[in-house]
Structure 1
Amino acid sequence: MHHYVTPANVEQRVLRRLGKRHAIGRFDASRTALVIIDMQNYYVAEGFPSGSAQARGIVPNINRMSSAIRAAGAKVIWVLTGSSKAMEFWPNHHIHNLSPENAARRIASLAEGGEGHRIYPELEVHPTDILTSKVMYSAMLPGPSSNLLDTLAEHGIDTLLIAGTKTNVCCESTARDAYMLDFRVAMLSDCTATSSDEEHAATLNTFQLFFGDVMNFDDVAARLEPPARPT
């Protein structure tokens, strides 16, 4: 797991811009979702070409965070990359940005229903959780890539907590697009992972300087507000 601490110069710049450390003071559980990106065997499990020890390292933290989110009454949403529409909706990526061998392997390994597509088995998925899919890096692109935007609208969600892998690819793409669509967004430093500490830190530094918040489990737990009970 990456051990991220916000650098002092980044914190000072956030304070100058915002006047406080975090933009999000409280999380209204009825309008908040934990969005967990790509925690599938293909990206996490040993024996898969893109399996990652760093991603395996955040599994306990994601389980802990998702449990706290459910207990507060907020939504947990799992976003899974699938390849069945990859050549229909994202051909340039597979033809021009990957070798033929890597493109074929990716499409085969992420086929819906296959072992690579499944959520890593040590992650705790509950019956109340929502599962959705995406084709491209960002889960927030409207149209063929994903129906996450429609799912969030259906449940009245305006605040997102981003977890999963990779920090600087699908997690960052989703988080930035969500922010540009006027969602309140926090990337979770202890529930995201990528290939190196340097890439992880660079993404989180940039995100809190220009986009949304960066928080850890304790930051979120201190701000979670369960839905008000009817009187």
Structure 2
Amino acid sequence: MTHAWRIEDREYRRQEQRRGRRHAYTRLAPAATALVVVDMVPFFAEENGYVRAIVPNIARLAASLRALGGTVAWVLPGVPEPSAVRTEFYGAEQAEVFRLSGGEGAPRDRLWHEFEVDDADLIVEKFATSAFFPGLSPLPGLLEARGIENVIVTGTVTNVCCEASARDAATLGYRVVMVADANAARRDEDHNATLYTIYRTYGDVRTTGEVLELLT
């Protein structure tokens, strides 16, 4: 169950006219690159076949980038008490559901069980939709300490936490690549709307195979 993803030809043509090529980045230096895996936890994977379908691509990217000397960062939903505003917005019951979405126990044990995690990987919690929002995620500081300049965004949900992370990463000055077949939403329409937005304004959109070529 994979997304039928697409970017319209008119958007490809627009970028080709602007910069003389379809895709922004022709190479990603592995040592300066981080694979950011957003919210791949049972709460999302168990209920959504699209999420389970991207697991092999994320695992492939993680193993390849590690072997090339890059960084893999697993980002989990934090478990904060819902604010008054979140409770007002979602309703008390749904706000509590979201609060518990990251699961319980050690962070490494809260990831979807099919992933292999290396001791050199980063595992962090975020306390906002974005993994890059200042003050609500330690990820930007950790990546800066490793000399990271390029961010590959994968995970779920494409049009919420993944999109928010890609936008904020671009704002912070990272080269951003969103992987079309390693992000998942509830519907193709939601998924493709985000791919359009990211490709048009914030970063590049590539497939897993294309990203591996950029790294090697």
TM-score normalised according to structure 1 size: 0.87
User: Equivalent of 1:177, from 168, 178, 185?
Assistant: 168
Using the alignment, how far apart are the partners of 1:104 and 1:202 within structure 2?
Answer: 28
Q: Which residue of 2 aligns with 1:30?
A: 31
Using the alignment, how far apart are the partners of 2:70 and 2:149 within structure 1?
Answer: 12
Matches within 5 A, 1:199-210: 199-210=190-201
Matches within 5 A, 1:191-206: 191-206=182-197
Match of 1:81, as an amino acid? Answer: P
Q: Is the CA contact (8 Å cut-off) linking 1:3 and 1:190 kept in structure 2?
A: no
Determine if the alignment matches structure 1 residue 135 to structure 2 residue 127. Answer: yes
Matches within 5 A, 1:46-61: 51-61=47-57
Match of 1:209, as an amino acid? Answer: R
Match of 1:68, as an amino acid? Answer: S
Deviates more, 1:96-105 or 1:53-62: 96-105
Using the alignment, how far apart are the partners of 1:5 and 1:22 within structure 2?
Answer: 15
**Residue 24 of structure 1: CA displacement?**
1.2
Helix, strand or coil for the counterpart of 1:182? coil
Percent identity, aligned pairs only, is 37
Q: Which residue of 2 aligns with 1:228?
A: none
Using the alignment, how far apart are the partners of 1:91 and 1:153 within structure 2?
Answer: 33
**Residue 107 of structure 1: CA displacement?**
2.3
> Compared with structure 1, are the counterparts of its residues 109 and 187 closer, same or farther at alpha carbon in structure 2 (3 Å cutoff)?
closer
**Residue 160 of structure 1: CA displacement?**
0.1
Q: Which residue of 2 aligns with 1:104?
A: 96
Q: Give CA-to-partner distance per residue, 1:88-144, whole Å, 9 cap, x none.
A: xx5422x122121112233244354289x810101222222110110110011111x
Using the alignment, how far apart are the partners of 1:224 and 1:108 within structure 2?
Answer: 36
**Residue 74 of structure 1: CA displacement?**
0.8
Deviates more, 1:36-45 or 1:120-129: 120-129
Using the alignment, how far apart are the partners of 1:114 and 1:71 within structure 2?
Answer: 26
**Residue 204 of structure 1: CA displacement?**
0.3
Matches within 5 A, 1:147-158: 147-158=138-149
Using the alignment, how far apart are the partners of 1:107 and 1:30 within structure 2?
Answer: 34
**Residue 70 of structure 1: CA displacement?**
1.2
Aligned length, in residue pairs: 214
Deviates more, 1:120-129 or 1:189-198: 120-129
Using the alignment, how far apart are the partners of 2:100 and 2:205 within structure 1?
Answer: 34
Match of 1:92, as an amino acid? Answer: V
Please identify runs of 4+ aligned residues in structure 1 that moved more than 3 A.
108-112
Q: Is the CA contact (8 Å cut-off) linking 2:103 and 2:110 kept in structure 1?
A: no
Q: Is the CA contact (8 Å cut-off) linking 2:72 and 2:122 kept in structure 1?
A: yes
Match of 2:177, as an amino acid? Answer: A
Using the alignment, how far apart are the partners of 2:84 and 2:102 within structure 1?
Answer: 15
- Specify every segment of 5 or more residues in structure 2 that has no aligned partner in the other structure, as ranges: none
- Specify every segment of 5 or more residues in structure 1 that has no aligned partner in the other structure, as ranges: 46-50, 226-231
Helix, strand or coil for the counterpart of 1:223? helix
Using the alignment, how far apart are the partners of 2:194 and 2:100 within structure 1?
Answer: 29
Q: Is the CA contact (8 Å cut-off) linking 1:82 and 1:112 kept in structure 2?
A: no
Q: Which residue of 1 aligns with 2:210?
A: 219
